[in-house]
């Protein structure tokens, strides 16, 4: 059913249940907003989006008011402008307006509103609370209450998208603020470090902890050999930080930029993504064998992927009894770190203590992961710093590079080779697709039975995707799988992960193998990606990922020549002794509350 209304003199018809804001958008009338976010439920608390509804003295929040038949709306009258200016001025009056020293400057919704409406400091007195301390306790997340506009987007994100509920609103009246349990430091609460609250925060109140100064130091230190690995999803999002349209692929330019910045070796996380597929694929097949053939009850199925550190910390907090379901494989970042300071060091004859290993990630949780005490299998901290796509964008600006004009450069070798399978790790369903491309071939000797290797059922933004693959014509070593139906599922966003976990807890989980990514859309929508992120943007980044995959000469992990080589030269075989030492890890129980 549709309703018809008139906004600023223009007739518009929208689906019943749409808001006035939706209707205005449809006819290209832009109403300013702040607490509204496409990913989240309606809050209606900032009151920036007020409009006049004929017949009412009160102004209505357009984001929260359903469009009704016959409504006559005005979006730009003196009454609205005055009220809106008051409201933005009020937000500014409780704000620590230090834009010059703020990480979100030029990418801040409050700053933009304030600038558009030419807000000055004269209208109201400052009611900013003095002496708010910035919480820098976490490896990943920084919280600065003096920059908070109390839109509750973070709280809604942590609840609705992630179902972690690490953030809440506490107090009321002027004491109302965003808070963790008892206002404890971030490092001490159930936060998974996914960083989704950051990408949904309109201001500089929530940011990732920045490590680029340390990285610049290392680059400038002649005794250090600085190695960078860049995650698959960074190459389809970094352009947004540098003024390019959403969905632009900038792989070659990014490598050039990093080289120009003085990085000694620019390598590709894709290499360890492919390695992950080999290790994880064999782990899965081994588990299937243990369960199906040996009847070993200590081995858990379904097996779940472990490359998303936000997801790993989630399950450590929320379902500690089920850690056995997690693959023991480290994330590609950590595999990369462990190999950099062993294999890479050995081959290049560099003392690992002189290597500074940096990961460029779409992710906030990878910062925490890099600092986990478990992640020192090389004898050193395997990854010295994890930077976000956003931090890299800043560094490129700091370096004064004209990014759009840079030529393309190839990754250094070795540990720079990539396949299409590794690239798609960046999108939800990608790990699963890559794993199937390899596992199916290992077992049957044939390619997966999907056109162009594109396993479409696991792609896209649906919260939980599932597929069944019938295994036929097995090679002799895998004959126990003959005729088996492999059931797989893909979940992204922790709220969907929770649904899957609850199925497992209830003993009703039909799947053998499940891919989980903490962030909605997978890494392309990661907590370290450019802001804003919404479904429209996610879809464009995803498209870029699959385009990149299609353009690759090699699209299966097991065909990555460097992967073959590392097994020959260093690791010997999947799940072998060295693999176990460097590429696999253990998990720990954490507090549920």
Partner 1 sequence: MTKKQLKRVDIILSPYSVSPYQVLINTVKRSKDEVIKEMINSGLRGRGGAGFPTGLKWKLASEQISDEKYIICNADEGEPGTFKDRKILSEVPRKVFSGMAIAGWATNSTKGVVYLRREYKYMVADLEKEIEVFNNKAKEIGLDFSINIFLGAGAYVCGEETALIESMEGKRGEPRNKPPYPIQNGFKGKPTIVGNVETFASASMVCRYGADEYVKFGTNDQHGSKLFSISGDSPKEGVHELELGMSIEDFVHEFGDGDTKAVQVGGVAGFCVPRKHFKTTIIGEGQTTGGATMIFNSTRSMYHVLHNYLDFFVEESCGQCTPCRVGTQQLLKGIEAVKLGEKEPEYLEQLIKLSQTMKVASKCGLGQSVANSFASIVTNFKEEMIY
Partner 2 sequence: MSELKTVISDQIKKHGKGRDALMPILQSIVEKNNYLTNENMVEIAKELDISAADVYGTASFYSFLETEERGRYVIRICKSITCDMKGKGKVLRTIQDMLKIKIGETTQNKKFSLLETNCIGLCDQGPAMLINDDFYNHLTPEKVREVLVDYIRNKN
What distance in Å separates the CA atoms of residue 236 and residue 40, rounded to the nearest whole number?
A: 24
Residue whose CB is less far from ligand FES, 64 or 80: 64
Counts of helices then strands in the chain (DSSP H, E): 20, 17
Is residue 141 involved in binding ligand SF4 (CB under 6 A)? yes
Q: Which of the choices partner 2, ligand SF4, ligand FES, none does residue 34 contact, using the CB cut-off of 5 to 8 A by kind?
A: ligand FES
| Residue 507: count of CB within 10 angstroms of its CB | 6
Closest CA to 150 of 90, 210, 60, 83: 90
Task: Look at residues 185, 181, 315 and name the one whose alpha carbon lies nearest to residue 590.
Answer: 315
Asked if 171 is part of the footprint of partner 2 (rule: CB under 8 A), the reply reads: yes
Stretch that binds ligand SF4, among 142-150, 245-253, 408-416, 547-555 (CB under 6 A): 142-150
Contact with ligand FES (CB under 6 A) among 7, 12, 34, 461? 34
Rounded Cα gap, residues 375 and 338, in angstroms: 8
**HSE (CB half, 13 Å, CA atoms) of 95?**
27
- Residues acting as catalytic residues: 280, 283, 307, 327, 366, 369, 374, 523
Assign 90 to helix, strand or coil: helix
Give CA–CA dist 301/260, Å, rounded.
47
What is the H or E stretch that residue 83 is in?
helix 78-93
Residues 4, 86, 103, 181: which binds partner 2 (CB under 8 A)?
181
The CA–CA distances, whole Å, from 554 to 297, 430, 435, 452 equal 38, 15, 15, 12
> Is there binding between residue 277 and ligand FES (CB under 6 A)?
no
Q: How far is the CB of 233 from ligand SF4 (least distance, A)?
A: 17
When asked if residue 356 is in the footprint of ligand SF4 (CB under 6 A), the reply is no
Helix/strand/coil percentages in the chain, nearest 5: 45, 15, 45
Shortest distance in whole angstroms from residue 30 CB to ligand FES: 12
399 makes contact, choosing from ligand FES, partner 2, ligand SF4, none, with CB < 5 to 8 Å by partner type, with none
Angle, to 10 degrees, between the axis of helix 389-398 and the axis of helix 251-261? 60
Dihedral of CA 189/191/195/196: which sign?
negative
Under the binding rule (CB under 6 A), the answer on residue 191 touching ligand SF4 is yes
The residues that bridge with 74 in the sheet, in sequence order, are 52
The residue (of 240 and 268) whose beta carbon lies closer to ligand SF4 is: 240
How many Å is the Cα radius of gyration of the chain?
A: 25
Residue 57 site contact among ligand FES, partner 1, ligand SF4, none (CB < 5 to 8 Å, cut-off depends on kind):
partner 1
204 touches, from ligand SF4, partner 1, partner 2, none (C-beta below 5 to 8 Å by class): ligand SF4
Please report whether residue 97 would count as binding ligand SF4 according to CB under 6 A.
yes
- Classify 245 as helix, strand or coil: coil
CB of 365 to partner 2, least distance (A): 18
Q: Find the shortest distance in angstroms from Cβ 258 to partner 1.
A: 42
Measured CA to CA in angstroms, residue 66 lies from 52, 70, 309, 404, 563 at distances of 13, 12, 39, 43, 56
For partner 1, the closer of residues 84 and 465 by Cβ is 84
Binding partner at 467 among ligand SF4, partner 2, ligand FES, none, C-beta below 5 to 8 Å by kind: none
**Is there a contact between 210 and 224 (Cβ–Cβ < 8 Å)?**
no
* CB of 174 or CB of 470, closer to partner 1: 174
Q: Cα–Cα–Cα angle for 407, 332, 548, nearest 5°?
A: 40
What is the β-pairing status of strands 10-15 and 2-7? antiparallel
Q: Which residues bind partner 1 (CB under 8 A)?
A: 42-48, 50, 57-59, 61, 64-66, 79, 82-83, 86-87, 90-91, 93-94, 123-125, 127, 149-150, 152, 169, 171-176
C-beta separation of 73 from 50 below 8 A: no
- Does the protein bind ligand FES through residue 36 (CB under 6 A)? yes
Q: Is 129 in the site for partner 2 (CB under 8 A)?
A: no
* Stretch touching ligand FES by CB under 6 A, among 41-49, 93-101, 137-145, 233-241: 41-49
- 24 binds ligand FES per the rule CB under 6 A: no
164 binds, among ligand FES, partner 2, partner 1, none (CB under 5 to 8 A by kind): partner 2
**Dist CA 367 CA 136 (whole Å):** 13
Does 167 engage in binding with ligand SF4 (CB under 6 A)?
yes
C-beta of 83 vs 464, nearer to ligand FES: 83
> Which positions lie near ligand SF4, rule CB under 6 A?
95, 97-99, 102, 104-105, 108, 110-111, 141, 147-154, 157-158, 162, 164, 166-167, 178, 191-197, 201-206
Which residues form the interface with ligand FES (CB under 6 A)? 33-36, 44-49, 61, 63-64
| Residues within the interface to partner 2 (CB under 8 A) | 164-172, 179-182, 189-190, 592-593
């Amino acid at each position: 059913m549709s309703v018809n209304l008139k906004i600023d003199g223009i007739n518009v018809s929208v689906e019943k249940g749409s808001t006035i804001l939706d209707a205005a958008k449809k006819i290209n009338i832009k109403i300013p907003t702040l607490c509204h976010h496409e990913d989240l439920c309606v809050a209606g608390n900032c009151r920036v989006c007020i409009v006049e509804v004929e017949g009412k003295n009160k102004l209505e929040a357009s984001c929260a008011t359903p469009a009704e038949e016959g409504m006559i709306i005005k979006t730009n009258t003196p009454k609205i402008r005055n009220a809106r200016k008051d409201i933005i001025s009020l937000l500014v009056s409780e704000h620590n307006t230090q834009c010059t020293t703020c990480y979100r400057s030029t990418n801040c919704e409050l700053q933009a509103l304030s600038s558009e409406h030419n807000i000055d400091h004269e209208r109201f007195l400052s009611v900013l609370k003095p002496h708010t301390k910035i919480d820098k306790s976490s490896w990943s997340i920084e919280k600065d209450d003096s920059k908070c506009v109390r839109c509750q987007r973070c709280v809604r994100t942590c609840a609705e998208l992630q179902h972690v509920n690490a953030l809440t609103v506490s107090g009321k009246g002027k004491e109302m603020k965003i808070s963790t349990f008892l206002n404890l430091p971030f490092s001490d609460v159930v936060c998974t470090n996914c960083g989704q609250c950051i990408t949904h925060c309109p201001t500089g109140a929530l940011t990732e902890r920045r490590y680029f100064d340390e990285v610049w130091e290392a680059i400038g230190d002649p005794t250090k050999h600085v190695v960078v690995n860049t995650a698959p999803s960074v190459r389809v999002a970094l352009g947004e930080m540098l003024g390019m349209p959403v969905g632009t692929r900038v792989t070659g330019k990014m490598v050039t930029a990093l080289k120009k910045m003085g990085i000694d070796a620019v390598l590709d996380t894709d290499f360890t993504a492919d390695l992950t597929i080999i290790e994880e694929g064999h782990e899965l097949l081994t588990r299937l064998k243990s369960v199906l053939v040996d009847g070993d009850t200590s081995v858990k199925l379904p097996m779940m992927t472990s490359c998303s550190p936000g997801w790993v910390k989630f399950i450590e907090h929320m379902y500690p009894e089920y850690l056995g379901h997690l693959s023991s494989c480290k994330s590609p970042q950590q595999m990369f770190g462990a190999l950099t300071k062993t294999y890479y060091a050995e081959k290049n004859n560099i003392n690992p203590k002189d290597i500074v290993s940096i990961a460029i990630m779409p992710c906030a949780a990878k910062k925490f992961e890099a600092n986990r005490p478990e992640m020192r299998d090389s004898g050193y901290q395997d990854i010295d710093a994890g930077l976000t796509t956003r931090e890299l964008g800043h560094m490129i600006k700091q370096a004064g590079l004209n990014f759009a004009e840079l030529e393309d450069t190839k990754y250094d070798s070795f540990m720079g080779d990539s396949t299409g399978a590794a690239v798609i790790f960046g999108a939800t369903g990608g790990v699963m697709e890559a794993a199937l491309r390899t596992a199916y071939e290992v077992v049957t000797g044939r390619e997966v039975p999907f056109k162009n290797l594109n396993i479409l059922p696991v792609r896209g933004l649906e919260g939980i995707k599932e597929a069944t693959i019938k295994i036929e014509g097995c090679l002799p070593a895998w004959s126990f799988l003959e005729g088996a139906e492999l059931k797989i599922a893909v979940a992204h966003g922790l709220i969907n992960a929770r649904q899957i976990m609850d199925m497992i807890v209830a003993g009703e989980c039909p799947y053998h193998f499940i891919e989980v990514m903490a962030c909605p859309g997978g890494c392309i929508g990661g907590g370290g990606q450019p802001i804003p992120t919404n479904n429209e943007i996610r879809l464009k980044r995803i498209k870029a990922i699959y385009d990149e995959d299609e353009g690759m000469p090699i699209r299966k992990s097991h065909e990555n020549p460097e992967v073959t080589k590392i097994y020959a030269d260093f690791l010997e075989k999947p799940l072998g002794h060295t693999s176990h030492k460097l590429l696999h890890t253990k998990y720990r129980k954490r507090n549920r509350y």
